[in-house]
């Protein structure tokens, strides 16, 4: 009996040992699940701290089209917008508040097709769209066809934080803005004489029944005429808490009719943010950006294609859009602070800032960005 118990115990010992040794090979290791769930990192992924990038529209923007004093004015306003957003980030503020601060500077300037510089519809009205998205939880707000709200991006923000909805339009959006105590102005506040003359020029081309090549020549010669399709402002940011956000605002397309809405307020087309991938604000011919779901497509290529931000943005803007004859560009940022600002048009008002007092601004396609 003693010998039997001894042998039984010895066999039991070996059975337990074999189970411990070979059992590990038959089941996942303790950290295997963590390895499988860990997101792949690209060679660019190194934490660069908080940062902000902006755009003021893309199009046929060439040196010969801008006088030196005009170029200086654009660069000063871009720098002002960058510094306004960066101040929020530097003081520990959220990315959403930083992009709002940057966009509002451009909304208040008649230089850009947003807010006070909004273009005119066929009926001679200023109708504005805007959107904002928080990458932390993918909460979003969007508005369209605003005519009396001084800051459209604030209207979009209020939809995001104070309503159960994502997208509001027209009179309903304006009523909601009043209820949120946003500043309401007379529609005349948005009237800019240069923008109105732009509308008159385009109406004249309609009477002349100009062909596509003639209209294209006007775009090349007249920067205001060019803005009929491409003007928009936007910002993307990474804050000190590791969250990213995107915001975009526009006056739409000059001479637009019948309640036309472009890509800007369409979440995933002109505006998108997700901490897992990137934040994107787009500018260009909106119909193409909607059809290509540009902002979300960039995020998807990063998520499922294991591409860096730069690679994903270039693939969408420089390949997919070009194949469809879609013109424009994007600004984008990922959770590591990497920034990409590709565009397939002649130029794009753009810039970024990583350090206080070191705002970088660009306009033309041949400028070295040093990202």
Q: What is the CATH number of the domain that holds 78?
A: 3.60.20.30
Query: What is the number of domains present in the chain?
Result: 1
Question: Quick check: is 215 in a domain?
Answer: yes
Are the C-beta atoms of residues 122 and 131 closer than 8 Å to each other?
no
Is residue 186 part of an annotated ligand binding site? no
pLDDT averages per 10-residue partition of the chain, 371 residues: 44 44 37 32 61 93 88 97 98 98 97 94 94 98 98 98 98 98 97 88 71 58 52 95 98 89 97 98 95 98 97 98 95 97 96 96 94 88
H/E element holding 219? helix 212-221
Q: What is the DSSP letter of 254?
A: T
- CA pair distance 35, 30, nearest whole angstrom: 10
Is residue 285 part of an annotated ligand binding site? yes
Q: Which residues are catalytic?
A: 232
What token pair was written down for 371? 């990202």
Question: Quick check: is 28 in a domain?
Answer: no
**Res 215: pLDDT:** 57
Question: Quick check: is 11 in a domain?
Answer: no
Question: Quick check: is 6 in a domain?
Answer: no
**Res 286: pLDDT:** 92
Q: Decide: residue 71, CB within 10 A, 0-12 exposed, 13-18 middle, 19+ buried.
A: middle
Residue 311 phi/psi, 5-degree rounding, is -65, -45
Question: Quick check: is 291 in a domain?
Answer: yes
Three-state SS sequence of 281-319: EEEECHHHHHHCCHHHHHHHHHHHHCCCHHHHHHHHHHH
Question: Quick check: is 25 in a domain?
Answer: no
CB neighbours of residue 222 within 10 Å: 15
**Res 32: pLDDT:** 29
List beta partners, residue 271. 267, 281
Are the C-beta atoms of residues 269 and 142 closer than 8 Å to each other?
no
**Res 202: pLDDT:** 80
Cα–chain center distance at 118: 19
Q: Report, in angstroms and rounded to the nearest whole number, the Rg of the chain calculated over CA atoms.
A: 26
pTM of structure? 0.84
Residues in the chain: 371
Residue 295's domain comprises: 51-364
Question: Quick check: is 44 in a domain?
Answer: no
Is residue 261 part of an annotated ligand binding site? yes
- Do β-strands 347-353 and 51-59 pair in parallel, antiparallel, or remain unpaired? antiparallel
Question: Quick check: is 19 in a domain?
Answer: no
**Res 8: pLDDT:** 47
What token pair was written down for 361? 């601004």
Is residue 262 part of an annotated ligand binding site? yes
Is residue 286 part of an annotated ligand binding site? yes
Is residue 260 part of an annotated ligand binding site? yes
């Amino acid at each position: 009996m003693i010998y039997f118990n001894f042998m039984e115990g010895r066999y039991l010992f070996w059975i337990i040992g074999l189970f411990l040794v070979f059992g590990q090979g038959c089941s996942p290791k303790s950290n295997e699940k963590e390895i499988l769930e860990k997101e792949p990192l690209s060679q660019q992924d190194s934490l660069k701290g908080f940062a902000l990038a902006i755009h003021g529209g893309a199009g046929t923007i060439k040196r010969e089209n801008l006088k030196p004093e005009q170029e200086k004015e654009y660069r000063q306003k871009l720098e002002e917008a960058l510094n306004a957003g960066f101040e929020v980030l530097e003081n520990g503020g959220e990315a959403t508040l930083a992009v709002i601060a940057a966009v509002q500077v451009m909304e208040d300037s008649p230089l850009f097709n947003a807010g006070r510089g909004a273009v005119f519809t066929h009926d001679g009205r200023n109708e504005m769209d805007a959107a904002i998205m928080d990458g932390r939880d993918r909460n979003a707000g969007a508005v369209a066809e605003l005519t009396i709200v001084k800051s459209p991006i604030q209207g979009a923000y209020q939809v995001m934080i104070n309503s159960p909805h994502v997208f509001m339009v027209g009179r309903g959006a304006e009523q909601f803005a009043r209820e949120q105590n946003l500043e309401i102005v007379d529609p005349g506040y948005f009237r800019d004489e240069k923008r109105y003359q732009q509308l008159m020029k385009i109406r004249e081309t309609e009477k002349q029944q100009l062909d596509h090549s003639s209209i294209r020549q006007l775009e090349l010669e007249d920067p205001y005429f060019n803005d009929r399709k491409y003007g928009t402002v936007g910002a993307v940011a990474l804050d000190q808490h590791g969250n990213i956000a995107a915001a975009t605002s526009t006056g739409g397309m000059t001479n637009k009719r019948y309640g036309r809405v472009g890509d800007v307020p369409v979440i995933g087309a002109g505006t998108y943010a997700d901490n897992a991938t990137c934040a994107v604000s787009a500018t260009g011919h909106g119909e193409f950006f909607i059809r290509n779901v540009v902002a979300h497509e960039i995020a998807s290529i990063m998520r499922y294609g294991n591409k860096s931000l730069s690679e994903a943005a270039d693939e969408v803007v420089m390949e997919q859009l070009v194949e469809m004859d879609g013109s424009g560009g994007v600004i984008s940022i990922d959770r590591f602070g990497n920034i990409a600002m590709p565009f397939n048009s002649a130029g794009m008002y753009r810039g970024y800032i990583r350090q206080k007092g070191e705002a970088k601004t660009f306009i033309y396609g041949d400028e070295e960005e040093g990202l």
